[in-house]
Every structure is written in structure tokens, then in C-alpha cells.
Amino acid sequence: MSDFEVDPAFETGSIAVADWPLCHIRLQDDGRFPWLILIPRVAGAVEIEDLEPEDRARLLEEIIRAGELVRPLGGKAGLAVDKLNVAALGNVTAQLHVHVVGRRRDDPLWPDPVWGRPGAFPWPDAMREALLAAARA
Amino acid sequence: MSDFEVDPAFETGSIAVADWPLCHIRLQDDGRFPWLILIPRVAGAVEIEDLEPEDRARLLEEIIRAGELVRPLGGKAGLAVDKLNVAALGNVTAQLHVHVVGRRRDDPLWPDPVWGRPGAFPWPDAMREALLAAARA
């Protein structure tokens, strides 16, 4: 992982949270949704197939862990999410990354996807700190 | 898998292709994109975490296989895709399913996500048959 660097594009709109065994974890600073971004710390990876099989398994474990983190945090109301949205897109920033987003039926964009939609507002400080503490535990 | 049934909602807009070891595979009939839908044949599964660990690994293998299938088929022009979009959303149809979509920088929606966007046209017959044959091989 020595040549790995996070694409600077992620610095706009998201906050570094932690490094898990495979992934660098970021919190999307969008108070509409509890939303983590998992970036495997593997230089040059763009698609899931670019990971070695053992790293693919780690990625899945970390996706599930991220889901457990966002599940109790359904937005500023702190209510449980109804559905996880898990996606590796990368049309804008090619570096392999996986979004794990907690969705609620009453969130502002339901049932549409969250990507490329304006209207983000920063997380309330207390909620951001709670999510960061959980992700770093 | 005996109680598994494909949610009837998938019958609108997609075509049954094959059953792979884990997933029922469907082709989204949207000639703008080569787009497969993988539905794990596990009754009641909604989130990835609902799968047993060995099925999670199978799902990843089948996601990669699906990517290999769509990669050479960048739409009606038959050109290679630039990026795979892999996503488990399920806001509209909760049954666990994974989209594997081949995207091109000149496709009609790039770089936006494909979900919930009108404008689909059916696959040209020859392309549809080629993709079905490849997925069934």
C-alpha cells in the first residue's frame, strides 16, 4: 500500500475518519444522509476486480461494518435507516471507492439515488462527532 | 433456495438471462447501457449482510463475472465501456439485487447515475442476443 494516496477530489465534501484494515474511511459531510466512503488503500485500483481476492473479501467485510455504523443514524433526527445503498460508481473520481449510504423513506431524495444531487448541508456537530467516534472505535 | 422467487417488479424492464451458482441474472432492456441485474437466489435477503459469508464471496465473484460480460458492450455502438457502476440500492424494490452497468463517457447520462432516469430504448435485437448468449455461456 506504500504508493497509495487518496485522490484529492475526496477532500471536497468529505472528512477523513479512520483507516480500517483495507480501506481509508471518509464521512460525506451531507447531513441529509449517514454516508461513509470506503477507499481501498491499494494504489491504482479502479474496479473491484483490481483487488486481490483476499482484499475483495476484506472490502465486503468493511462494507458490512460501514452499514452497521450508518444503520442507527438516519439523518439529523437520529432515526434508523430503512435501506442501505451500497455503490461503487467512480464516474467522476475513478479511484476505487464504495459508498455506503443509509436511506430513509422520508429522506429528501427517496427513492432516487443520492449522487450528483445538490442540497447537502453539513452534519450537525453533535451527530458528526458521534458518527466519527463510532467509526474510529 | 426453495422459497426464493424473483420479485415480479423485475419483470418490467428486464429479461431473465440465466441462473448462475448464486444469482438469477437479468438484462435490463435499456439499449443506452449494457446493464445486468444480479439477484441472489436467497429467500428474504434484502441487504448484503443477509447473505451467509460463502454467498457473499459468490456474489462478489458473480459481480466480477458480470463486469467482464458488460465491459466489451458499451451500448449500441458495441464499444468498450470506460467504467463499471456496481450498486445494491433497493429503494424501489427491496429484494436484494446488484446492478452492474457499463458506462461510457459519451453515454446519455454520464457522469450521472442511471437509476430513475427516463429515456430507455430497447436493445437492438442483434446486441441483445449477443449479450444473452454471452451471459448464458
Give the list of residues 6+ apart from residue A44 with CB closer than 8 angstroms, or none.
A3, A50
| Dihedral (Cα; A90, A40, A122, A70), 10-degree rounding | 110
- What is the mean predicted confidence (pLDDT) over A110-125? 91
A78, pLDDT greater than 60? no
User: Which domains does chain A possess?
Assistant: 8-136 (3.30.428.10)
**Contact B91/A at CB under 8 A:** yes
**Which pTM value belongs to this model?**
0.94
Report the percent of chain B where pLDDT is more than 70. Answer: 94
Q: Do B112 and A91 touch (CB under 8 A)?
A: yes
Residue listed under C-alpha cell 429467500: B43
| Dihedral (Cα; A111, A135, A64, B49), 10-degree rounding | -80
Please list every residue in chain B whose beta carbon sits closer than 8 Å to the beta carbon of residue A118: none
**Contact B60/A at CB under 8 A:** yes
Residue listed under C-alpha cell 464521512: A27
> In which band, very low, low, confident or very high, does the pLDDT at A127 lie, cut at 50, 70 and 90?
confident
To the nearest whole number, what is the mean pLDDT of chain A?
Answer: 91
- The confidence score (pLDDT) of residue B80 equals 78
pLDDT in tens, chain B (137 residues): 579 999 999 999 999 999 999 999 999 999 899 999 999 999 999 999 999 999 999 999 999 999 998 887 754 555 679 999 999 999 999 999 999 999 999 999 999 999 988 999 988 888 788 878 888 87
Q: Supply the angle between the helices A53-70 and A125-136 in degrees, to the nearest 10.
A: 140
- The confidence score (pLDDT) of residue B77 equals 53
* Cα-based angle B61, B66, B67 (whole degrees, multiple of 5): 100
